[in-house]
């Protein structure tokens, strides 16, 4: 009944866990949600007010397909102010979230017989963005003790004549890893003779790095036309529901994507575009305030996780996730005799016993890990990690 395209994609594992948490809540069970992929803060007031102003002043109509010129100018100024990147508004397309920008770019650039490199662990949506185009995702290992920077031997082995894209996500979801300058330069050096390979830099967590400053990948090679920078208002300004993201890159790619978008969503939401202008151009104090809170929570969750024996957790330099390794608890039995074969089994066992919602690493290509989001209160972090620790004590070693 449905096309091959539909059978090639899976439902988003993280959204699935979010709906599981909602189900538990509806049943009045205690829920400690450590699975959320969005800030727990409200959208700052000045941004909300810009949207209200837009509604009251008639900005409620279709806009140009790739976003208004005013918003593209605000993005261009932001990219120069925060990222040291020079892009003309003509090199920018605004979409309904960074996810949509990434999806569109894959649609415009990849097809059957193409291969696209994705680093493991990966954000759940990357492989599906690629497979839906008919292209094949090719997974490259990373070094978990070095912020999940690439295993360069593996990368070199996997690049071939069919390689059409490389998707980078630093700071990363799910690991929180932030690549060093050296790692980025090494990667760019490997692909310097391949202008036919598009380098996607998904920078949706660019404002959330804690131990090192963030550097946009395109700043390392401003002369290259094949680097595409993807950013979003979602995580930086607590605007996940507003759905505004954008990409900046090659002008012909921008034209192709604007055409595609004009025939799919028509344009991004006009009111949200006004809000995004205020977010990007207005007072940035809220960004620093939210980042400071995330930083403190990261340190808190790491301290608490250390108390659980046999769980290994690296210190992630960015985003709002930790990605501990639970391999010592796999292939062990629960008190009721159930064998925990995979991280999904373990994540469901934890959910069942404690009400703590997590996302199993299986869906990120990392079967020994579980992702915990710390975009939640200190109380929830303390309670959830202690519940996990107590329930793991019951597993038969």
User: Binding residues for ligand PLP, per CB under 6 A?
Assistant: 37, 97-99, 123, 169, 173, 202, 204, 232, 234, 240, 245
10 Å CB burial of residue 202 (0-12, 13-18, 19+) is buried
Q: Answer for the pair 116, 166: CB distance below 8 angstroms, yes or no.
A: yes
**By C-beta, is 169 or 270 nearer to ligand PLP?**
169
Cα atoms in the Cβ-side hemisphere of radius 13 Å centred on 348: 11
Closest CA to 106 of 240, 4, 198: 198
- Min dist. Cβ of residue 174 to ligand PLP (A): 8
- Give me the residue whose beta carbon is nearest to ligand PLP: 97
**By C-beta, is 104 or 169 nearer to ligand PLP?**
169
β strands within 258-323, DSSP E = 321-322
Q: Which residues does 125 contact at the CB level (< 8 Å), separation at least 6?
A: 12, 99, 102
Q: Report the relative pairing of strands 339-340 and 332-333 from DSSP bridges.
A: antiparallel
- Min dist. Cβ of residue 123 to ligand PLP (A): 4
- Min dist. Cβ of residue 37 to ligand PLP (A): 4
**By C-beta, is 237 or 329 nearer to ligand PLP?**
237
**By C-beta, is 97 or 355 nearer to ligand PLP?**
97
- Min dist. Cβ of residue 236 to ligand PLP (A): 10
The C-alpha atoms of residue 99 and residue 294 are separated, in whole angstroms, by: 22
- Min dist. Cβ of residue 366 to ligand PLP (A): 14
**By C-beta, is 276 or 340 nearer to ligand PLP?**
276
Closest CA to 320 of 303, 295, 340, 341: 295
- Min dist. Cβ of residue 69 to ligand PLP (A): 21
Distances (CA, A) of 89 to 69, 71, 247, 251, 278: 7, 9, 11, 10, 17
- Min dist. Cβ of residue 295 to ligand PLP (A): 18
The C-alpha atoms of residue 387 and residue 285 are separated, in whole angstroms, by: 35
- Min dist. Cβ of residue 264 to ligand PLP (A): 15
Q: For the chain, how far is it from start to end, CA to CA, in angstroms?
A: 48
**By C-beta, is 97 or 318 nearer to ligand PLP?**
97
The C-alpha atoms of residue 179 and residue 168 are separated, in whole angstroms, by: 10
**By C-beta, is 118 or 356 nearer to ligand PLP?**
118
**By C-beta, is 97 or 249 nearer to ligand PLP?**
97
């Amino acid at each position: 009944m449905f096309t091959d395209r539909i059978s090639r994609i899976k439902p988003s594992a993280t959204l699935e866990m979010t709906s599981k948490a909602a189900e538990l809540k509806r049943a009045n069970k205690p829920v400690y949600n450590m699975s959320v992929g969005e800030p727990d803060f409200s959208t700052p007031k000045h941004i909300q007010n810009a949207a209200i102003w837009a509604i009251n002043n008639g900005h409620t109509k279709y806009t140009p397909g790739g976003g208004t010129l005013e918003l593209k100018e605000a993005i261009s100024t932001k990219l120069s102010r925060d990222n040291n990147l020079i892009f003309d508004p003509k090199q920018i397309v605004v979409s309904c979230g960074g996810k949509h920008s990434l999806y569109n770019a894959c649609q415009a650039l990849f097809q059957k017989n193409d291969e696209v490199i994705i680093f493991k662990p990966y954000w759940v949506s990357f492989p599906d963005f690629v497979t839906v185009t008919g292209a094949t995702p090719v997974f490259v290992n990373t070094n978990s003790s070095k912020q999940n920077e690439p295993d360069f031997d593996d990368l070199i082995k996997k690049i071939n004549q069919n390689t059409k894209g490389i998707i980078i996500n630093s700071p990363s979801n799910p690991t929180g890893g932030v690549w060093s300058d050296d790692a980025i330069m090494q990667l760019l050096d490997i692909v310097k003779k391949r202008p036919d390979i598009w380098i996607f830099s998904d920078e949706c967590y660019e404002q959330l790095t804690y131990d090192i400053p963030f550097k946009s990948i395109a700043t390392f090679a401003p002369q290259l036309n094949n680097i595409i920078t993807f950013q979003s208002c979602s995580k930086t300004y607590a605007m996940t529901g507003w759905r505004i993201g954008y990409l900046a890159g090659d002008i012909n790619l921008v034209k192709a994507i604007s055409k595609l978008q004009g025939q799919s969503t028509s344009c991004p939401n006009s009111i949200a575009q006004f809000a995004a202008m205020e977010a990007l151009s207005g007072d940035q104090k809220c960004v620093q305030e939210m980042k400071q809170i995330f930083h403190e929570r990261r340190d808190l969750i790491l301290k608490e996780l250390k108390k659980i024996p046999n769980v290994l957790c690296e210190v992630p330099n960015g985003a709002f996730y930790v990605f501990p390794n639970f391999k010592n608890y796999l292939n062990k039995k629960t008190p009721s005799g159930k064998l925990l074969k995979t991280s999904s089994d373990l994540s469901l066992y934890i959910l069942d016993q404690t009400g703590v919602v997590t996302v199993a690493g299986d869906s990120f290509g990392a079967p020994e890990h579980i992702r915990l989001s710390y975009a939640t209160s200190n109380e929830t972090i303390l309670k959830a990690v202690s519940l996990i620790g107590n329930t793991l004590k019951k597993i038969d070693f």
